[in-house]
Amino acid sequence: MKQAYLDCSSGISGDMFLAALIDAGIPVDRLFGELKKLSLGFYEFKRTRALRCGLLGTRVDIRVPGEQPHRHLADIQTLVENASLPEKAAALSLKVFNHLAEVEGKLHNVPSSEIHFHEVGAVDAVIDIVGTCVAMELLEISELICSPLNLGSGRVNAAHGSLPVPAPATAELLKDIPVYSSGVEGELVTPTGAALVATLASGFGPFPSMKIAKIGYGAGEKEYSDHPNIARLFVGELLEAVAGQPGMPGDDIVSVIEATVHDMSPQLYGHFLEQALAAGALEVTCGSAQMKKNRAGLAISLLCEPGKSDALSQLLFDETTTTGVRIYEARRKVPEREQVAVEAPCGDEIVSVIEANVDDMSPQLYGFFLEQALAAGALDVTCSSAQMKKNRPGLTISLLCEPDKSDALSQLLFEQTTTIGVRIYEARRKVLAREQVTVETAYGAVQVKVARCEGKVMNAAPEFDDCQRLALEKSVPLKHVIAAAEAAYLQQSEKAAVA
C-alpha cells in the first residue's frame, strides 16, 4: 500500500482530483468498468490533455444532455449499493455523500435524509466522487495527506444564487482544516472537492518525507494568467517504511537522480529528456517547483539502474543549468505485464477522436487534407464552424480513426493545416453490421447498402454512384432511379420473408 500527497495550491475540485489520479497511471479500463455499473443513464466521459500556464495535465469533463434530477441521500445510497462496486470504494463514496448531507442539513436546518442535492447530486459530481474513491483503491493508496487549501476569492453562482467564496457548504466542510487565499479571483475549492479531501485525507500540512513513485497532474476547468490551475498528486512510500524493509523477491534496486533549476529555457528540457532516455534512463519526469527568492522552477527526476547513475548525473550537468544533483537508491516494484484484448459490447469498438481548431487557414486546404486523411486510414472526417478568440470565425476539424493511427493522423493535421495543437481522446463507437445486395430496376442493376442490428434491418440505402450513373445513361431524373431502387429492395425483401 502507498501514501499520497495532494498539492492543492490551486484549490481542488472533484474533476481535478479524479484527473490527477488518472494522470498518475491508474488502469483506466478498470475505472471505466466500475463506473459503468452506476445506473446514471447516458453521459460522456471526456478525458483530454490540457495546458495550464504551460504545465501539462489531464482534464476530465463529464457531459450530460438535458436537465438532471435532484437526488436525495437515499437515492445516492441506492445508486451506489446497487452498483456492486469494490467494497472499500463504495464505503468511502457513501461516507463522502453522508458528510455532504450532514453539512447541507445543518445549513438548511433539516435532517440529512431530507436534503436534495443540487450540483453535487448531478451525474458529473457522482462520477467525480465515486470515480475518485475507486481510483484511490486501484492505486492502492492507504493514506492521503493534503496541503493547505487555496480557496480563491470573490463570488460564485450556485443553485441558491450568488454566494461568497468559499460557498457556505465548502466553508462548513473545511472546518479545522488549514486554508488560505492567494487573492485569485474565483472559486478554487468546490463543495465536491472539499467533501473529498475532508473525508479522505488523514492529515493536512507540508510535504511528508516520502520516495515519490508517480506524479499525477489534474487540470481544472478555468485557466488563470498568473498560475497553473493544476492539482498535483504525489504517490509513493514513506521513507521510514522503505528504509525498514530489506526488500522482497522480485524487487529492483534503482537509483533516483533529482535536480532543481530556475534559470533554464523549457526548450532544453525536451532535448535532455530524449538524451536521458537514449542513455538508459528508465523514466524521466519534470514538475514545477517553488524555489528560493520566490522563483518558479523545475524539479527534474530520473530513474535508472545504479550502474548508470554517474553517467546520467553528468548528462544533467552537461545538458541543463543545474549546479547540483541528489542521488539515492530505492526499491522498485514492477509487476508482470501482459497485453490482453478486451472485447467491447456487441457492435461496439474503441476509436480515437482527434480535434483541432483553426482560424487562419484557406478553405482550399481543407479539401486536400480530407482526401489525405481518408487515404491515411481515417474512418471519418468532419468540419464545422467555430467562434474563436478575438471574435474570429474558425473551423473545428474532427477525425475518427483506429487508436493505433492517431499519432500519424495528428502529424498529418500539423503538416496539412495551420493548427498548432490537437486534442485526442478515446470513445466508444457503435456500428451497425452492413452488407451490399443487388436489386434489378427498370433502369438497370443497383447496389443497396443494408444495415442490420441483431439481424433486424435498420436502414437500406441505394448506392448513390450507381443511381447517378444510371440516371445519366437513361436520361431520367436521379430521384426516379433512387425511388425505383428502394421499391425493388422492399419487394425483394418481402419475397424473401415469405419464402
Q: The domain 348-430: what is its CATH number?
A: 3.30.70.1380
Fold type of domain 433-498: Ubiquitin-like (UB roll) (3.10.20)
Fold type of domain 252-332: Alpha-Beta Plaits (3.30.70)
> 344 pLDDT exceeds 50?
no
- Quote the pLDDT of residue 1: 61
- Quote the pLDDT of residue 425: 85
> 103 pLDDT exceeds 60?
yes
Tens digit of each residue's pLDDT (9 = 90 or more) over 262-314: 888 777 787 888 889 999 999 888 877 776 677 777 889 888 888 888 899 99
The mean pLDDT of 148-161, rounded to a whole number, is 83
CA distance 189 to 166: 7
> 371 pLDDT exceeds 70?
yes
- Quote the pLDDT of residue 386: 76
Residue 63's pLDDT band, with cuts at 50, 70 and 90, is: confident
The mean pLDDT of 85-96, rounded to a whole number, is 94
> 420 pLDDT exceeds 70?
yes
Higher pLDDT, 452 or 132: 132
- Quote the pLDDT of residue 189: 95
pTM here is 0.50
Residue 242's pLDDT band, with cuts at 50, 70 and 90, is: very low
The mean pLDDT of 242-260, rounded to a whole number, is 64
Residue 117's pLDDT band, with cuts at 50, 70 and 90, is: low
> 43 pLDDT exceeds 90?
no
- Quote the pLDDT of residue 245: 42
Boundaries of CATH 3.10.20.300 in the chain? Answer: 433-498
CA distance 69 to 323: 58
Mean pLDDT, the chain, rounded, equals 85
Boundaries of CATH 3.30.70.1380 in the chain? Answer: 252-332, 348-430
